[in-house]
């Protein structure tokens, strides 16, 4: 039993099997805390290299001292050796190496926040550029998520429509599904009165069942009506159903016992910018799939409007997570974007999870990236930000290593036998400081990039 569950009938005894730190909420809080202290994988590599770098530099400094002490010129050999050793230690300070990743990550996450892209941890920022497949939920992600009833088609010679409309209103009000809210709004505007149902049952991802005055009523998807209830559609109802589906409308069927009485068409507009965003994602070489619980015809209509070639229709919430896992087993790096409770499981399994801020709390809790404006055009910008940030990290690490590869031999005095040049500790300190400054300045360039 989940928090927020509404008990519609009877009574029961509940036993809490998990409390305190074992609950789902506590687990989510723990996950967030761990994410905040996380490091990007490349940072862990830099840390390992720094761990090897320090003892090597100390070793080079000791060898430098010994060489110049032995081969140095008379009474100045000790001073010469000591200065060379100190210069090696000063110039080789691994500050630039240590700053290379965190400075780029901080600027990258800040740049994302400016654009309305909230990134939860460094790993997701680094990993997003590797995305090969993007899965998009339809309702609320590609579409506005604000459905409205456009048509209601009744079977011929249906009696007592006001009573049936009251049953629809009452059952859908108890449902809580986004499409149900549109139906409730539609009938409230027409001053339809609710009916006291004898029983009510909601079946997730399918529809609802209600009992009234000895009759069983069902409201739900075509799949629910044909496969679960085994109700048959008349040829006229089939024709109207196909017509509405081809117009990208989602259909809710009203069934009394096994007789289909009415068809409610609900439309949800495609978000402005969805087509443009999908084209930009394709330009990045990423495959796109759309998953929806709607019929194949409705899914095809939305896919055609947005330029999506691959889609799966009549998908249940658990099917989304299974599809993510199927792609991952094929070795794909999978990103998932969704906004609802039914997307949370798939978001949890995805390598890169993206939630819309106007969506459900659980989707945002699970997702590693949250888009504050729910504009799909922020998704390709997220991928580009990841690419720019990782490239900046690599540049920082490259310059940090090149600086040390050039600086350490100079500090050790390799040019002294040739032209008498010996780097002083003061110049070495300046060079070390400038290397750190150069890494920070290179990271700050991220603020100027166009996404």
- Give the catalytic positions in this structure: 137
Comparing CA positions, the residue from 179, 199, 196 lying closest to residue 250 is: 179
Spatial distance between the Cα atoms of 344 and 337, rounded to a whole number of angstroms: 10
Residue 386 buriedness (CB in 10 A; 0-12 / 13-18 / 19+): buried
8 Å CB contact between 123 and 38: yes
Q: Which helix (H) or strand (E) holds 289?
A: strand 287-291
The token pair that represents 25 in the structure block: 């909420």
8 Å CB contact between 368 and 124: yes
SS3 286: coil
Over its C-alpha atoms, the chain yields an Rg (Å, rounded) of 32
The token pair that represents 287 in the structure block: 């495959």
Strand 207-212 relative to strand 199-203: parallel, antiparallel, unpaired?
antiparallel
DSSP 14: -
- Cα Dmax for the chain: 117
Residue written as token pair 């100079």: 410
Spatial distance between the Cα atoms of 304 and 306, rounded to a whole number of angstroms: 6
User: In this structure, what are the phi and psi dihedrals at residue 423, rounded to the nearest 5 degrees?
Assistant: -70, 130
Strand boundaries in 9-120, DSSP class E: 117-119
Residue written as token pair 């460094």: 122
Q: Which helix (H) or strand (E) holds 375?
A: none
Spatial distance between the Cα atoms of 181 and 280, rounded to a whole number of angstroms: 33
């Amino acid at each position: 039993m989940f928090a927020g569950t509404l008990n519609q009938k009877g009574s029961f005894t509940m036993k809490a099997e998990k409390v305190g730190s074992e609950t789902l909420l506590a687990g989510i809080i723990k996950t967030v805390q761990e994410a905040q202290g996380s490091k990007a994988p490349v940072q862990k590599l830099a840390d390992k290299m720094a761990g090897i770098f320090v003892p090597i530099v100390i070793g080079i400094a000791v060898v430098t001292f010994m060489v110049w002490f032995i081969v140095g010129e008379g009474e100045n050999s000790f001073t010469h050796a000591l200065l060379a050793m100190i210069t090696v230690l000063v110039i080789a300070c691994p500050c630039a190496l240590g700053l290379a990743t965190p400075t780029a990550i901080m600027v990258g996450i800040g740049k994302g926040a400016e654009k309305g892209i909230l990134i939860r941890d460094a790993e997701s920022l680094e990993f997003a550029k590797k995305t090969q497949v993007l899965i998009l939920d339809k309702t609320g992600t590609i579409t506005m998520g604000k459905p409205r009833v456009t048509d209601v088609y009744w079977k011929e010679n249906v009696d007592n429509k006001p009573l049936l409309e009251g049953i629809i209103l009452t059952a859908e009000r108890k449902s809580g599904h986004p499409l149900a809210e549109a139906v409730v709004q539609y009938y409230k505007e027409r001053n339809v009165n609710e009916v006291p149902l004898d029983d009510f049952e909601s079946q997730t991802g399918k529809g609802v069942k209600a009992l009234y005055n000895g009759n069983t009523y069902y409201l739900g998807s075509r799949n629910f009506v044909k496969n679960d209830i085994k109700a048959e559609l008349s040829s006229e109802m089939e024709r109207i159903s196909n017509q509405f589906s081809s117009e990208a409308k989602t259909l809710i069927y009203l069934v009394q016992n096994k007789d289909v009485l009415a068809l409610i068409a609900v439309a949800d507009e495609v978000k402005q910018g969805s087509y443009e965003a999908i084209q930009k994602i394709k330009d990045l070489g990423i495959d796109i799939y759309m998953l929806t619980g709607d019929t194949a015809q409705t899914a095809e209509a939305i896919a055609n409007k947005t330029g999506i070639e691959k889609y799966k229709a009549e998908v249940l919430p658990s099917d989304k997570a299974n599809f993510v896992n199927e792609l991952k087993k094929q070795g794909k790096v999978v990103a998932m974007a969704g906004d609802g409770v039914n997307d949370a499981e798939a978001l949890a399994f995805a390598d890169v999870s993206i939630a819309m801020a106007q969506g459900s709390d659980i989707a945002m809790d699970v997702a590693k990236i949250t888009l504050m404006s729910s504009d799909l055009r922020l998704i390709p910008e997220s991928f580009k930000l990841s690419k720019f940030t990782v490239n900046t990290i690599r540049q920082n690490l490259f310059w940090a290593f090149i600086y040390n590869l050039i600086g350490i031999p100079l500090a050790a005095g390799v040019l002294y036998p040739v032209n008498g040049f010996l780097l002083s500790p003061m110049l070495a300190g300046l060079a070390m400081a400038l290397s750190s400054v150069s890494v920070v300045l290179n990271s700050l360039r991220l603020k100027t990039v166009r996404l």
